[in-house]
């Protein structure tokens, strides 16, 4: 039987999706369990597979299907897929295939070099790789084109619709509010006692508690798994295989517990995309900012709330070492919400976290624009840490080398974290108009919350643009006031000022 043009189109996308799933599985393996000696060969294989994806995305065959189908499509999934594929085609055809393969190979090698550099506190060994990655990103940005700022071309990859001019209006406002609040907190009389959280907490016990919470959130272990890694991430290979990773610190359980919940929020998004989008480019989050809104909603608005610990503290004590039984719930709650500037972004408290993002945004924007050089990054990083957070990292491992993103060439990604936090605050405010969130948390029943998110956000995958999702859910565009209000109200209560 002769296949229709639409059938051939979907088959080609399924072939592309199959290559992408193989790439994702290999990337997961490299970051979790792969032996070091296999990294070089694996990087080459990834380059080959990425080239296959690139060839499909830029093929004349795909272009002919787009041209034929977009004239007559009345199906909303097909229309959205055609729009997504056509935009990717236009951007991707501007990048020579050989150049893209070189970049992907460099990415995977660079991640391995970065991991060793971080472990050895050796920025100079990573510097030449980072210089090359910056060079490639500048080239790509020029190929793609932009209206106002070269960084806009990279930002578009992660947060379509947002620009430098918008970020440069919103970020300073948030920064001023948070730095002012931070100064008030430092002077406040009601300081929490973080020592109640210290002490040895075996990894296996942390894992047991984390798994229990993931199950309560609605994470489907039949369609995922939890593993250990140096830098936590979630990865959706397909909607029935969405994996979570975490990092355990036996001296501080918060790293793994809140990190796992964070990645679990990402995973819930991917697991609840409408199955009719499977094997299409629409079967993923609409943007990194909306994706991050889901992880930060669960990590901060749910699991750092008093309601959460009033309900789940007995479950925590069931898995925790005996000494925690001597810690009063109120002391525990205030301690896990302590505001204290820290060197490590993924371990930062929820108030100072956006300041970490703004440091990275300002540095990578300047790198791409050619205002600063890679070799000066450690010094510039430390200067901004002191300016915004009042601390200076003692080593590059705790400073400029701490994040994996630059080693993967992911310039334009970091702003999504702060945007996601703002989105999450808006979404939480909108959800409160329909659901008594505190009541649901106290009941330990997250079904309503998960279903509301799935109905309004998750199911659509990439069918809607990020700012359309935000407008449809909240009734307005990006508004940082909800985040500022949330943090101000919460921490005035905790710090009693």
**In this predicted model, what pLDDT tens digit does every residue of 437-469 receive, in sequence order?**
999 999 999 999 999 999 999 999 999 999 999
pLDDT digits (tens, 9 = 90+) for 378-431: 999 999 999 999 999 999 999 999 999 999 999 999 999 999 999 999 999 999
Does one domain contain both 345 and 207?
Answer: yes
Q: Model confidence at 97, in pLDDT bands (50, 70, 90)? A: confident
Does one domain contain both 80 and 182?
Answer: no
Cβ contact 299:261 at 8 Å: yes
The strand pair at 226-228 and 241-246 is best described as: parallel
The answer to whether residue 447 sits within a structural domain is yes
Q: Alpha-carbon distance 216 to 444, whole Å?
A: 8
Q: Model confidence at 73, in pLDDT bands (50, 70, 90)? A: confident
Beta strands in 398-496 (DSSP E): none
Does one domain contain both 424 and 310?
Answer: yes
Residue 461 has what pLDDT? Answer: 98
The answer to whether residue 145 sits within a structural domain is no
The answer to whether residue 449 sits within a structural domain is yes
| Mean per-residue pLDDT, 61-86 | 93
Of 93 and 231, the structure prediction assigns the larger pLDDT to: 93
| End position of a domain, from candidates 124, 156, 180 | 124
Does one domain contain both 242 and 100?
Answer: no
The alpha carbon of residue 73 and the mean position of all alpha carbons in its chain are separated, in whole angstroms, by: 34
Catalytic residue check, 263: yes
Q: Give how far Cα 210 sits from Cα of 182, 244, 342, 409, 469, Å.
A: 30, 11, 23, 31, 30
Residue 1 pLDDT greater than 80, yes or no: no
Does one domain contain both 347 and 485?
Answer: yes
The answer to whether residue 72 sits within a structural domain is yes
Q: Give how far Cα 432 sits from Cα of 63, 74, 300, 437, Å.
A: 45, 36, 15, 6
Does one domain contain both 420 and 361?
Answer: yes
pTM of the model: 0.91
The answer to whether residue 159 sits within a structural domain is no
Does one domain contain both 379 and 454?
Answer: yes
The answer to whether residue 132 sits within a structural domain is no
Q: Which of 311, 317, 212 is nearest to 261 (CA)?
A: 212
Give the chain's length: 497
> What is the sign, positive or negative, of the torsion defined by CA atoms of 444, 447, 449, 454?
positive
Residue 190 has what pLDDT? Answer: 84
Cα torsion at 456, 255, 393, 289 (round to 10°)?
A: -10
Q: Alpha-carbon distance 178 to 78, whole Å?
A: 44
Cβ contact 26:42 at 8 Å: yes
The answer to whether residue 9 sits within a structural domain is yes
Does one domain contain both 318 and 391?
Answer: yes
The answer to whether residue 157 sits within a structural domain is no
Does one domain contain both 118 and 179?
Answer: no
Does one domain contain both 114 and 210?
Answer: no
Does one domain contain both 370 and 421?
Answer: yes
| End position of a domain, from candidates 124, 155, 176 | 124
Residue 334 pLDDT greater than 80, yes or no: yes
Q: Please state the domain count of the chain.
A: 2
pLDDT digits (tens, 9 = 90+) for 356-386: 999 999 999 999 999 999 999 999 999 999 9
Which range marks the domain in which residue 50 is found?
Answer: 5-124
Measured between alpha carbons, how far apart are the two ends of the chain, in Å?
A: 74
| End position of a domain, from candidates 99, 124, 149 | 124
Domain with residue 186: its CATH number is: 1.10.1370.30
pLDDT digits (tens, 9 = 90+) for 16-68: 999 999 999 999 999 998 898 998 888 889 989 988 999 999 999 999 999 99
Backbone angles phi, psi at 303, to 5 degrees: -80, -10
Q: What is the mean pLDDT of the chain?
A: 95
pLDDT digits (tens, 9 = 90+) for 234-258: 999 999 999 999 999 999 999 999 9
| Mean per-residue pLDDT, 129-151 | 97
Residue 429 has what pLDDT? Answer: 97
Strand order through the sheet with 234-238: 226-228, 241-246, 234-238
Does one domain contain both 262 and 389?
Answer: yes
Residue 98 has what pLDDT? Answer: 87
Q: Which of 263, 299, 350, 364 is catalytic?
A: 263
């Amino acid at each position: 039987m002769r296949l229709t043009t639409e059938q051939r189109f979907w088959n080609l996308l399924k072939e592309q999706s199959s290559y992408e799933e193989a790439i994702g599985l290999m990337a997961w393996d490299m970051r979790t369990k792969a032996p070091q000696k296999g990294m070089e060969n694996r990087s080459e294989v990834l380059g080959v597979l990425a080239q296959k994806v690139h060839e499909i995305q830029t093929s004349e065959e795909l272009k002919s299907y787009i041209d034929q189908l977009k004239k007559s499509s009345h199906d909303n999934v097909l229309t959205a897929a055609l729009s997504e594929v056509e935009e990717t085609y236009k951007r991707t055809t501007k990048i020579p295939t050989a150049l893209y393969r070189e970049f992907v190979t460099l990415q995977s090698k660079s991640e391995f070099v970065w991991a060793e550099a971080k472990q050895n506190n050796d920025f100079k060994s990573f510097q030449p790789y980072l210089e090359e990655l910056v060079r490639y990103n500048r080239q790509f940005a020029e190929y793609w084109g932009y209206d106002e700022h070269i960084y806009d071309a990279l930002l578009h990859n992660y947060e379509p619709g947002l620009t430098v001019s918008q970020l440069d209006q919103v970020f300073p406002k948030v920064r001023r509010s948070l730095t002012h609040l931070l100064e008030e907190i430092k002077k406040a009389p009601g300081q929490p006692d973080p020592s109640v959280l210290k002490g040895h907490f075996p990894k296996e016990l942390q894992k047991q508690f984390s798994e229990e919470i993931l199950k309560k959130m609605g994470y489907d272990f039949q369609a995922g798994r939890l593993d250990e890694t140096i830098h936590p991430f979630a990865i959706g290979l397909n909607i029935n295989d969405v994996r979570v990773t975490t990092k355990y610190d036996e001296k501080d359980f918060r790293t793994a517990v809140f990190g796992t919940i964070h990645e679990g929020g990402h995973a819930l998004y991917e697991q609840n995309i409408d199955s009719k989008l499977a094997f299409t480019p629409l079967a993923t989050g609409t943007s990194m900012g909306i994706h991050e809104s889901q992880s930060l909603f669960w990590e901060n608005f749910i699991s750092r709330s008093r309601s959460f610990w009033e309900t789940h503290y007995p479950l925590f004590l069931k898995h925790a070492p005996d000494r925690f039984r001597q810690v009063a719930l109120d002391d525990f709650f205030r301690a896990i919400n302590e505001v204290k500037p820290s060197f490590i972004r993924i371990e930062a408290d929820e108030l100072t976290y956006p300041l970490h993002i703004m440091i990275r945004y300002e540095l990578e924007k300047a790198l791409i624009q050619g205002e600063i050089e890679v070799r000066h990054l450690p010094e510039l990083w430390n200067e901004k840490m002191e300016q915004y957070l009042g601390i200076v990292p003692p080593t590059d491992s705790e400073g400029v080398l701490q994040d994996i993103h630059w080693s993967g060439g992911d310039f334009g990604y970091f702003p999504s974290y702060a945007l996601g936090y703002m989105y999450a605050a808006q979404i939480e405010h909108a959800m409160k108009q329909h659901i008594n969130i505190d009541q649901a948390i106290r009941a330990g029943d997250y079904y309503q919350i998960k279903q509301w998110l799935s109905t309004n956000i998750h199911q659509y995958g990439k069918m809607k643009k990020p700012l359309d999702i935000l407008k449809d859910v909240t009734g307005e565009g990006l508004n940082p006031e909800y985040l500022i209000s949330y943090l101000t109200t919460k921490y005035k209560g905790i710090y009693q000022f």
